[in-house]
Structure 1
Amino acid sequence: MHDIRDWSQRHEACHPYFVHQSKIWRDYIWQMHCDLRLKHPPEFKIEPRIAQDRIYQQMQKGWMLQQVPWAVLFYLLGGWPFVIWTVSVRITISLIGHWLVGYFAHNTGQRDWHLQGHAVQGHNLPHIGLLSMGESWHNNHHAYPESAKLGLRASQHDPGWWALQALQAIGLVWKLKLPRDLPYRPELKAIYGKTK
């Protein structure tokens, strides 16, 4: 869904479902409780080495089951209150928080980049960079969607990037891409420091 949303936002016109500029409650209902079914959706082909990887397949199929070991551990540590707060509440806050960051990051905030011909522009939300693991640097994400690093300035805290660097240091992640590694985009224009 993320790939389809990003693909749609890169066009001159975009379905309102992907724009995130409806009233906040409508967008919440759409994003959290509805599915968009297109007659002719774009086709995204995952490269075979990823699509056929058994670990990725199991992670996709059994993401809810991955919570069971945590639930058991926290039940043993503190009973049902620990399970409710560390599993149920955590997942709920994470899902709603991810949507909320996306909603505001498509409506307000700082912009260092403008993408000509794109229906939707992302915005950076500096005050929640740490809390959102860097996801709030959404204008940077729109500018460089394949970059593993979202906080592009020294002042843009990006814990997601720090985690990736740690994983790379121990050999669990490799070939991380930065903006300098990506192809030139003629539609990308710098507008440093301006806001919309």
Structure 2
Amino acid sequence: MRRFEGNELLIATHNAGKLAEFQTLLAPLGIACRSNTDFNLPEPEETEETFVGNARIKAKAAVDATGLPALADDSGIEIAALGGAPGVRTADWAETGTGRDFKLAMTRAWTELEAKAAPEPRNARFCATLLLMWPDGHEEIFEGHLNGRIVWPMRGAEGHGYDPIFLPDGLDQTLGEMSAERKNTISHRAVALRKMAGCFGGTTAGSLDE
């Protein structure tokens, strides 16, 4: 595993929610995060059919544009009764032509489950793939998952994306009802970052020990 030697990392995203999660998770390691927005980078088209493929597209675009190492995340929710959909199309379900509306996406997910008369529990999992790329093209890849089920109606106003309809296994709060601190101890992104911590000179990252 290659060691990241810097103290500032480019997070290849325009998603403020994801950036905030990475800032919280990497702060204990002394790493400051910047985003595509700081460099006025365009959002690359995600044309792959896998999380790792799309993470690679985003990381390479950021590295090529800035010459800096970049960490890209591609993540989504897979709903078992929908054959794993939306999966890599998780954000696409929220597209409206004038921006993303995740309430619309969550409503679509529940409507499709109802149309299939999917039995309870309506199992799902959040998936995250982290890809850290250096300017020489070297990359390190780590994956994390969080298992749970889809619930309705939406619960909570915290987090982002599909968090208000996702209830993690063994818990009584959706991700949308949890504090950021609690979510960052269990999330799919936290699991992947825990695996990646060796790149930053540690075996775990701050609150990820909890």
Q: TM-score range by the shorter chain?
A: under 0.3
> Higher Cα Rg: structure 1 or 2?
1
Return the structure number with greater strand share: 2
User: If the length of structure 2 is used for normalisation, what is the TM-score?
Assistant: 0.22
User: If the length of structure 1 is used for normalisation, what is the TM-score?
Assistant: 0.23
